[in-house]
Amino acid sequence: MSGNQLHGPTGAAAGIMAKTALETLVLTFIADDRPGLVEEGVADAFADAELEYGTTMPTGTYLDMCANLPVVDPALIACPVLILRGEHDGIATEEDLVAFFGALRSDDKQMVVLPDQAHVGTLGVNRHRFFHVLHGFLTLPERQAAIPAG
């Protein structure tokens, strides 16, 4: 058996297979949550850009994202928090995020569910709504301490 048979194709065939595998992975978290929420060609362009850095990618982070949520302890987060969830996000359920939100140590927190958004809101057809909510959070005036009663 030759090395190619043991280790897969090489040359142009390997590049095509790597692109196909990467595009499949990209499509699972960009476009598959609900068809039509990402403009045609976005996932392909994203995969092409990623291939500039190589044809392999670690699976650990992706597996953690899908199987081991949450990957941080919300009780340790004391800073202001914005959780933005696309209505059709296939990674974390709304129930999971509500539980995470409730467990946050910070009381300066917001959670927004955006209709007709998938997992990657920055690439969706409604990305303007994602950026609107994000901008509002980032430009929110500093919170003032309550005036003592008396």
> Concatenated DSSP letters for 72-118?
S-GGG--S-EEEEEETT-SSS-HHHHHHHHHH-S-SSEEEEEETT--
**Tens of pLDDT along 102-130?**
999 999 999 999 999 988 888 889 999 99
Give the Cα separation of 35 and 140 in Å (integer): 33
Predicted pLDDT at 89: 84
pTM of the model: 0.72
Q: What percent of the chain has pLDDT over 90?
A: 36
pLDDT band at 137 (very low <50, low <70, confident <90, very high): very high
Predicted pLDDT at 20: 63
**Tens of pLDDT along 51-71?**
787 766 666 666 666 677 788
Give the Cα separation of 20 and 98 in Å (integer): 35
Predicted pLDDT at 45: 84
CA-wise closest residue to 129 among 47, 40, 37, 55? 37
CA-wise closest residue to 72 among 103, 109, 29, 118? 103
Burial of 12 (0-12, 13-18, 19+ CB in 10 A): exposed
CA-wise closest residue to 41 among 111, 118, 123? 123
